[in-house]
């Protein structure tokens, strides 16, 4: 199992930060995912499903995530709902830092299955670094669109 946790301070109000974080159509702009879209038509909320493609080593893996936590302006959580070589639980916590800044904490666990499990020790650093870079990109996108 690979655990990670990273955080940034985004110089935007919590409402703006949370609105951007829950905009599934923008995930591809700040993550390593592609083709990300909401499977359900009722909007993002607890139990909603999101389909995406993730580059996993030399291959690409289609994944379905289910929203496992949703607290407006406070928390978003995801877990894989699809079966495959990867299981992923992720949480984003949003905390106001005054009226114009937000602390965003990204934490999660990734479990690789099958033959990929052997590569966990090698991939751990890359995954942690990648998650930190995504959060920095998230911050940059929000701050440049004031």
Q: Say what the alpha-carbon torsion angle 13, 139, 126, 68 is, to the nearest 10 degrees.
A: 30
pLDDT at 56: 66
Strand partners, 60: 55
Q: State the Cα–Cα distance between residues 142 and 75, nearest whole angstrom.
A: 18
Q: Give the C-alpha distances (Å, rounded to integers) separating 50 from 8, 10, 13, 66, 116.
A: 24, 25, 26, 6, 23
Q: State the Cα–Cα distance between residues 53 and 35, nearest whole angstrom.
A: 6
Closest Cα to residue 11, out of 140, 119, 106? Answer: 140
Burial of 89 (0-12, 13-18, 19+ CB in 10 A): middle
Domains in the chain, start-ordered, CATH in brackets?
Answer: 2-144 (3.30.530.20)
Give pTM, 2 decimals: 0.89
DSSP secondary structure letters along 76-117: EEEEE-S-SSEEEEEEEEEEE-SSS-EEEEEEEEEEE-GGGG
pLDDT at 78: 94
Per-residue pLDDT of the chain (146 residues; tens, 9 = 90+): 889 999 999 999 999 999 999 999 999 999 988 899 999 777 889 999 999 998 766 678 899 999 999 999 999 999 999 888 888 999 999 999 998 999 999 999 988 888 777 777 877 878 888 889 999 999 999 999 65
């Amino acid at each position: 199992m690979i655990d990670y946790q990273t955080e940034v301070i985004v110089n935007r109000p919590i409402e703006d930060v949370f609105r951007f974080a829950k905009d599934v159509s923008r995930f591809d702009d700040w993550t390593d995912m592609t083709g990300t879209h909401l499977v359900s038509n009722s909007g993002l909320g607890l139990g909603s499903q999101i389909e995406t493609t993730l580059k996993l080593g030399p291959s690409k893996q289609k994944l379905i995530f289910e929203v496992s936590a949703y607290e407006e302006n406070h928390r978003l959580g995801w877990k894989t709902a699809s079966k495959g070589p990867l299981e992923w639980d992720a949480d984003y916590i949003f905390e106001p830092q005054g009226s114009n800044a937000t602390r965003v904490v990204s934490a999660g666990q990734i479990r690789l299955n099958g033959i990929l499990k052997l590569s966990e020790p090698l991939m751990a650093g890359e995954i942690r670094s990648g998650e930190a870079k995504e959060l920095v990109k998230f911050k940059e996108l929000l701050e440049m669109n004031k």
